[in-house]
């Protein structure tokens, strides 16, 4: 066979790409998975459609209607896609010219904004969050020239905090007529009063991203929503695939968004928040934990005195956390998804024997 280097044929940005390090790709032989912010228990569903010979609706009517009612919006303000991740990418494909326009976001934050930009070949700019993890508005203003999309994650992954609403209003005013502001609300069910969905009446350039992957316990379904005014939705409809959701996905999403499904989700949120508060207290009682940050979500960020050793020790016991060490400002930090109460107890039992700062220095 002649030596053809297939990689030479690929786009330069794809050759240079580091793919998203998803929790599943990171592997491990864990049996306590606390690294992907999934709901720890499966919700059972049965398929009600037997029409797989037919193509699905592009935007299944019942799913759109139910999500609009749930979000307090009209159906024309809702787009459904293959997870919120597809929404992140559709926005770039609709609004950004490769080689000309840029997107902006504020680390430490969700990893897919940069991965999608790199994959599509769009410049991305980062403006680090302030020390309190709020927006650095003057620095954003300085960087806004040529930016078409500003992604703001609130509550933010992985830090768990909400972005100040007054700052979001200032950002929206700053961006008016220039850029779209995308509020990623993947975790909003854990603090529903903080949603920006009702702001859509005031801001034509606001977009809100949602998902069924977190509080709705359906990460495996791959179903997310983009909320925006009709002109934005119409543009996204031009670039979305003709059949973005399979019939079984639409079937289950509609069930999850029934009154019963929403009530069940709310019960899960209440239970999970109780477990989170228990875990916060328990972590504060561990020598190896230096700081536990407040969280409005289904995960906690904590700073450890020897985070790589902690990560490895738990990994070896089958407890898989998410290392956030590499993110700006997060040295020594691990992210822990809230599992079942039993999973959290196992985590604490594994952390308890680990030494604090003085102890780990002696060991070193
Ligand atoms: C999990 C997550 C998503 C992705 O949601 P999917 O619907 O599973 O694609 C988007 N944004 C943030 C901040 C997330 O944590």
Q: What is the pLDDT of residues 128-169, one digit of tens each?
A: 999 999 999 999 999 999 999 999 999 999 999 999 999 999
pLDDT in tens, 173-211: 999 999 999 999 999 999 999 999 999 999 999 999 999
Distances (CA, A) of 63 to 22, 72, 143: 27, 14, 38
364, pLDDT greater than 70: no
pLDDT in tens, 63-74: 999 999 999 999
Q: Whose CA is nearest to atom 12 of ligand 1?
A: 186
d(CA 4, CA 8): 9
R_g of the chain, CA atoms, integer Å: 21
List residues near ligand 1 (CB under 6 A): 37, 83-85, 110, 153, 157, 184, 186, 211, 213, 219, 224
Q: Could you tell me if 254 and 60 are in contact, meaning their C-beta atoms sit under 8 angstroms apart?
A: yes
Q: Whose CA is nearest to atom 5 of ligand 1?
A: 84
Q: Whose CA is nearest to atom 2 of ligand 1?
A: 186
Is 0.85 surpassed by the pTM of this model?
Answer: yes
For residue 359, the CA-to-ligand 1 centroid distance in Å is: 38
Three-class SS state of 211? strand
**pLDDT computed for residue 30 by the predictor:** 81
| Residue of 157, 161, 189, 215 best suited for mutating to test ligand 1, as the one with most atoms within 8 Å of CB | 157
For residue 161, the CA-to-ligand 1 centroid distance in Å is: 16
pLDDT in tens, 232-245: 999 999 999 999 99
The partner residues of 34 in beta bridges, in order of sequence, read none
**pLDDT computed for residue 28 by the predictor:** 65
E strands, 43-90, are: 78-81
**pLDDT computed for residue 362 by the predictor:** 46
Q: For residue 153, give the ligand 1 atom closest to its CA.
A: 13
d(CA 138, CA 142): 6
d(CA 164, CA 168): 6
- What's the mean per-residue pLDDT of the chain? 95
**pLDDT computed for residue 3 by the predictor:** 80
Q: Could you tell me if 93 and 109 are in contact, meaning their C-beta atoms sit under 8 angstroms apart?
A: no
For residue 178, the CA-to-ligand 1 centroid distance in Å is: 26
Q: For residue 88, give the ligand 1 atom closest to its CA.
A: 10
d(CA 280, CA 207): 32
pLDDT in tens, 86-142: 999 999 999 999 999 999 999 999 999 999 999 999 999 999 999 999 999 999 999
The partner residues of 334 in beta bridges, in order of sequence, read 302, 323
d(CA 282, CA 287): 11
**pLDDT computed for residue 19 by the predictor:** 76
Three-class SS state of 41? coil
Q: For residue 223, give the ligand 1 atom closest to its CA.
A: 7
For residue 9, the CA-to-ligand 1 centroid distance in Å is: 32
361, pLDDT greater than 60: no
Q: Could you tell me if 165 and 74 are in contact, meaning their C-beta atoms sit under 8 angstroms apart?
A: no
**pLDDT computed for residue 101 by the predictor:** 98
d(CA 337, CA 344): 9
287, pLDDT greater than 50: yes
Nearest by Cα to 37 from 181, 211, 176, 198: 211
For residue 224, the CA-to-ligand 1 centroid distance in Å is: 8
For residue 211, the CA-to-ligand 1 centroid distance in Å is: 7
| Residue of 183, 213, 256, 322 best suited for mutating to test ligand 1, as the one with most atoms within 8 Å of CB | 213
For residue 11, the CA-to-ligand 1 centroid distance in Å is: 26
| Residue of 214, 295, 327 best suited for mutating to test ligand 1, as the one with most atoms within 8 Å of CB | 214
Residues 6 or more apart in contact with residue 201 via CB below 8 angstroms: none
For residue 361, the CA-to-ligand 1 centroid distance in Å is: 38
For residue 186, the CA-to-ligand 1 centroid distance in Å is: 6
| Residue of 23, 84, 159 best suited for mutating to test ligand 1, as the one with most atoms within 8 Å of CB | 84
Q: Could you tell me if 62 and 80 are in contact, meaning their C-beta atoms sit under 8 angstroms apart?
A: no
Q: Could you tell me if 68 and 75 are in contact, meaning their C-beta atoms sit under 8 angstroms apart?
A: yes
75, pLDDT greater than 50: yes
Locate 51 and state its tokens: 């029409």
For residue 113, the CA-to-ligand 1 centroid distance in Å is: 10
Q: Could you tell me if 88 and 103 are in contact, meaning their C-beta atoms sit under 8 angstroms apart?
A: no
* Percentage, residues of the chain above pLDDT 70: 96
C-alpha 273: how far from its chain's center?
18
Helices 83-95 + 112-120 axis angle, to 10: 40
Confidence of residue 357 (pLDDT cuts 50, 70, 90): confident
C-alpha 51: how far from its chain's center?
32
Backbone angles phi, psi at 143, to 5 degrees: -100, 0
């Amino acid at each position: 066979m002649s030596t053809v280097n297939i990689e030479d044929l690929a786009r330069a940005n794809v050759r240079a790409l580091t793919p998203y390090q998803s929790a599943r790709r990171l592997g491990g032989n864990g049996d306590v998975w606390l690294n992907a912010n999934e709901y720890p228990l499966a919700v059972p569903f049965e398929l009600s459609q037997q029409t797989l010979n037919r193509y699905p609706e592009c935007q299944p009517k019942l799913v759109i209607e139910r999500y609009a009612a749930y979000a307090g919006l009209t159906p024309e303000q809702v787009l459904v896609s293959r997870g919120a991740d597809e929404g992140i990418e559709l926005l770039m494909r609709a609004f950004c010219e490769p080689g000309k326009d840029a997107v902006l976001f504020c680390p430490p934050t969700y990893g897919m904004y940069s991965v999608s930009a790199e994959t599509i070949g769009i410049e991305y700019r980062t403006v680090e969050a302030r020390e309190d993890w709020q927006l650095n508005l003057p620095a954003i203003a300085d960087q806004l020239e040529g930016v078409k999309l500003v992604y703001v994650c609130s509550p933010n992954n992985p830090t768990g905090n909400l972005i100040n609403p007054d700052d979001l209003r200032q950002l929206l005013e700053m961006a008016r007529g220039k850029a779209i502001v995308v509020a990623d609300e993947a975790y909003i069910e854990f603090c529903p009063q903080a949603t920006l969905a009702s702001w859509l009446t005031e801001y034509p350039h606001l977009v809100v991203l949602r998902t069924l992957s977190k509080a709705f316990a359906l990460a495996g379904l791959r179903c997310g929503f983009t909320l925006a005014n009709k002109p934005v939705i119409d543009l996204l409809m031009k670039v979305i695939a003709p059949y973005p959701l399979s019939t079984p996905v639409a079937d289950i999403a509609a069930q999850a968004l029934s009154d019963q499904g929403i009530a069940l989700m709310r019960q899960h949120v209440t239970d999970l928040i109780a477990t989170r508060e228990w875990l916060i207290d328990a972590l504060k009682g561990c020598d190896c934990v230096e700081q536990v940050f407040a969280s409005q979500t289904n995960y906690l960020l904590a700073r450890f005195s020897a985070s790589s050793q902690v990560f490895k020790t738990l990994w070896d016991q089958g407890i898989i956390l998410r290392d956030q060490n590499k993110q700006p400002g997060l040295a020594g930090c691990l992210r822990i998804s809230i599992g079942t109460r039993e999973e959290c107890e196992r985590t604490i039992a594994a952390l308890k024997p680990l030494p604090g700062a003085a102890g780990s220095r002696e060991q070193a």
